[in-house]
Amino acid sequence: MTTRYSMRLPELESLIAMLGEPAYRARQLHEGLFRQRRPLDALTNIPRALRARLAGELPLAFAVDMTLLADDDTTAKWLWRAADGAQIETVLMRYSARATVCVSSQAGCAMGCTFCATGQAGFERHLSVGEVVEQVLRAQHASPQRVSNVVFMGMGEPLANTDTVIDACTRLHEDVGISARHLTVSTVGVVPGMERLTDFDLPVTLAVSLHAPDDALREQLVPLNRRYPLAAVLDAARAYAERKGRRVSFEYACISGVNDLPHQADALAGRLTGFRGGAHVNLIPLNDTAGYPGRPSDADRIATFAERLRAGGVQATVRRNRGTSIDAACGQLRARTP
Ligand code: SAH
Ligand code: SF4
């Protein structure tokens, strides 16, 4: 489907030609929408009548269902609705000089991780490349700071929609001008997708969601572990680090009494060896969800876990949960909306 951000320059040139307009209008349009990141309405170098025609030819993919602000308005979350009714969410995190956008790659997710609100709700459909790019640009329109980073950590499993995610990364880099290293693809460990990303020529950052130091526990939290066990996931991550010369990071949602015990930190450090650039673990307290009884670890427990990782030679960062008051993480807003 053609939407506002689904076309690259050659397709925009065909559209402009079809409308009987001079070719330079396509370059103005492309430059304004993508490189300058301005809304179509604000492209005053294009005559108003043409902008109105373009608005009809290039409809937005999403209507706003809901916008929420938190943390002194430095975190914003949108719940969008596509024409077919699919709902997805996007989060904008603003810092003093720049901003990060967290995008969804699918409406829902088929991976079924037990602690994840998106996984609890199931899979609806893949998003298109235009829908991914639209999330970034519409968040940019609401941000005085330049969007410098994009993380694929919203709804969905990016490496279950790999063609789209690779295409979106290419466009965000080439058309929108975001550094490839500042594009982060987070995966639950879809090994064939990780291999494809290894062969992709842009040095995007890979994050792998681990949540457990052994297969027995990981299977309970992440059903996909039965298909791609920890050893295979870590081997694919090592190959990625080697090929790209980049540090790989790991996400670890800390669940009280389940995966946050000191001996589990030691076991995790023991498995994260042999990574070029070292392994880096982000520790995030679990967000409560309706469908999972686990509780977030308390701060002391997480700090101890981080220390044990460091003692084992693994870099560890304790992440503050931004936007918790608006459920700005992991499919929780949609889960609450009928
Ligand atoms: N499907 C991908 C990316 C989207 S989820 C993945 O799983 O990596 C983004 C991150 O949020 C993942 O690390 C995921 O494990 C984490 N997450 C999901 N539900 C969570 C919850 N309830 N609390 C804390 N982190 C959660
Ligand atoms: Fe899907 Fe990621 Fe949630 Fe697992 S954690 S269900 S892979 S979105």
Active-site residue, selected from the candidate residues 13, 89, 131, 134? 89
Say how far apart CA 233 and CA 190 lie, in whole Å. Answer: 8
Tell how far the Cα of 257 is from the centroid of ligand 2, in angstroms. 21
What pLDDT digit, counting tens, does each position of 278-318 carry? 999 999 999 999 999 999 999 999 999 999 999 999 999 99
**Residue ranges lining ligand 1, Cβ < 6 Å:** 115-116, 153, 157, 186-188, 209, 251, 253, 284, 286-287, 289, 330
CATH architecture of 9-57: Orthogonal Bundle (1.10)
Question: Class for domain 62-326, per CATH?
Answer: alpha beta
Among 89, 103, 116, which residue has the most ligand 2 atoms within 8 Å of its CB, making it the best to mutate?
A: 116
Q: What percent of the chain has pLDDT over 90?
A: 91
Size of the chain in residues: 338
What pLDDT digit, counting tens, does each position of 225-234 carry? 999 999 999 9
Answer whether 246's CB lies under 8 Å from 256's CB.
no
Tell how far the Cα of 103 is from the centroid of ligand 2, in angstroms. 13
Asked if pLDDT for residue 261 goes beyond 50, the answer is yes
Tell how far the Cα of 30 is from the centroid of ligand 1, in angstroms. 34
Ligand nearest to the CA of 223: 2
What pLDDT digit, counting tens, does each position of 14-72 carry? 999 999 999 999 999 999 999 999 999 999 999 999 999 999 999 999 999 988 888 77
Q: What residues does 315 pair with on adjacent strands?
A: 280
Q: State the SS3 of the chain.
A: CCCCCCCCHHHHHHHHHHCCCCCHHHHHHHHHHHHCCCCHHHCCCCCHHHHHHHHHHCCCCEEEEEEEEECCCCEEEEEEEECCCCEEEEEEEECCCEEEEECCCEEECCCCCCCCHHHHHCEEEECCHHHHHHHHHHHHHCCCCEEEEEEECCCCCHHHCHHHHHHHHHHHHHCCCCCHHHEEEEECCCHHHHHHHHHCCCCCEEEEECCCCCHHHHHHHCHHHHCCCHHHHHHHHHHHHHHHCCCEEEEEEEECCCCCCHHHHHHHHHHCCCCCCCEEEEEEECCCECCECCCECCHHHHHHHHHHHHHCCCEEEECCCCCHHHCCCCCHHHHHCC
Instruction: Check residue 242 and give its pLDDT.
Output: 97
Mean pLDDT of 124-153: 98
187 CB near ligand 2 (under 6 Å)? no
Instruction: Check residue 73 and give its pLDDT.
Output: 86
Give domain limits for the chain: 9-57, 62-326
111 CB near ligand 2 (under 6 Å)? yes
113 CB near ligand 2 (under 6 Å)? yes
Asked if pLDDT for residue 337 goes beyond 80, the answer is no
Tell how far the Cα of 153 is from the centroid of ligand 2, in angstroms. 9
Annotated catalytic residue 124 = no
Say how far apart CA 123 and CA 104 lie, in whole Å. Answer: 13
What is the atom index within ligand 1 of the atom nearest the CA of 157?
A: 1
Say how far apart CA 298 and CA 26 lie, in whole Å. Answer: 54
Annotated catalytic residue 89 = yes
Tell how far the Cα of 208 is from the centroid of ligand 1, in angstroms. 10
